[in-house]
């Protein structure tokens, strides 16, 4: 279900006008899409914060009200000033309920890996997927079940399950997560192999030396 957000049209453009809007607690915005001329707007910063902090995150479907007219839209290119802790600008993409769109959907780890419990390390290779679906069917996240992962195993994109109507565009061969041996264990194993290798070489050299001495004694005799 979409979230309602009231926007106001704005006349002024440029950095000066944008600074005044932010000082008044509003965020400059643009609405575009479907052949419409880009519409310069502003939205309340607190309402925008609450809107983007729902479970849907940046893929929240918005009922954007402009001068009494409703526009179904998705937030795009949300710019933040992380130092000052405020929004700088946000784009809204106008969409239709019967239209498929390209979205980026976050991945959510679920379950406990027996490999991790045994001392392995869970490596994250992907944090989100590129997908295509109807604007009204965008999932909040795609689950990655790691409950069956032992050390040395992993999950690829092709292993993931998504709801009907969602098409994953990311390569199915891409690795999502993997459980590996901890680096210390790997180094210890390599060190042990090196020691065993040196011992084998010394043993071989000793055997060769003994054979040479024996051959020399036989020659002298």
Q: Is the pTM of this model over 0.85?
A: no
Report the helix count and the strand count for the chain, using DSSP H and E.
Answer: 4, 13
Indicate if the pLDDT at residue 3 is higher than 60. Answer: yes
Residues near 34 by beta carbon (within 8 Å), at least 6 away in sequence:
94, 96
Model confidence pLDDT, tens digit, residues 142-195? 999 999 999 999 999 999 999 999 999 999 999 999 999 987 655 556 666 665
**Cα angle, residue 211 at apex, residues 209 and 214 outer, rounded to 5°:** 110
- CA distances, 215 to each of 185, 211, 221 (Å): 45, 6, 10
Q: What pLDDT shows up at residue 200?
A: 58
- The residues that bridge with 132 in the sheet, in sequence order, are 102, 167
The answer to whether residue 196 scores a pLDDT higher than 90 is no
Q: According to CATH, what is the number of the domain 3-95?
A: 2.40.240.10
How far apart CA 205 and CA 218 sit, in angstroms, is: 20
How do residues 7-25 score in pLDDT, each as one tens digit? 999 876 777 888 888 889 9
User: What CATH number belongs to 101-180?
Assistant: 2.170.120.20
For position 182, what pLDDT does the model report?
85
Distance CA 202, CA 218 (A): 24
- In 53-94, alpha helices (H): none
- What is the tens place of the pLDDT at every residue in 25-81? 999 999 999 888 999 999 999 999 999 887 667 788 999 999 889 999 999 889 988
Other beta carbons less than 10 A from residue 176's beta carbon: 23
In sequence order, what are the residues at sequence separation of 6 or more whose Cβ sits closer than 8 angstroms to the Cβ of residue 26? Answer: 8, 42, 43, 44, 45
Q: In this predicted structure, what is the pLDDT of residue 73?
A: 93
């Amino acid at each position: 279900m979409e979230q309602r957000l009231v926007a106001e049209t704005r006349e002024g453009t440029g950095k000066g006008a944008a600074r005044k809007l932010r000082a008044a607690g509003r965020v400059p915005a643009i609405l575009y899409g479907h052949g419409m001329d880009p519409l310069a707007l502003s939205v309340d910063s607190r309402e925008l914060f609450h809107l983007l902090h729902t479970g849907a995150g940046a893929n929240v479907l918005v009922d954007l009200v402009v001068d009494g007219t409703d526009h179904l839209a998705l937030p795009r290119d949300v710019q933040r000033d992380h130092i000052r802790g405020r929004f700088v600008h946000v784009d809204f993409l106008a969409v239709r309920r019967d239209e498929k769109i390209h979205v980026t959907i976050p991945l959510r780890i679920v379950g406990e890996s027996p490999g991790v419990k045994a001392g392995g390390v869970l490596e994250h290779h992907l944090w989100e997927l590129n997908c295509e679906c109807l604007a009204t069917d965008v999932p909040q996240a795609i689950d990655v079940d790691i409950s069956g992962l032992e050390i040395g195993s992993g999950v690829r994109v092709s292993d993931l399950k998504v709801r009907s109507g969602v098409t994953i565009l990311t390569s199915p061969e891409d690795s999502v997560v993997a459980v590996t041996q901890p680096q210390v264990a790997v180094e210890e194993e390599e060190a042990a192999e090196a020691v065993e290798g040196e011992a084998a070489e010394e043993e071989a050299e000793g055997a060769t030396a003994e054979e040479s001495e024996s051959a020399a004694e036989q020659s002298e005799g």
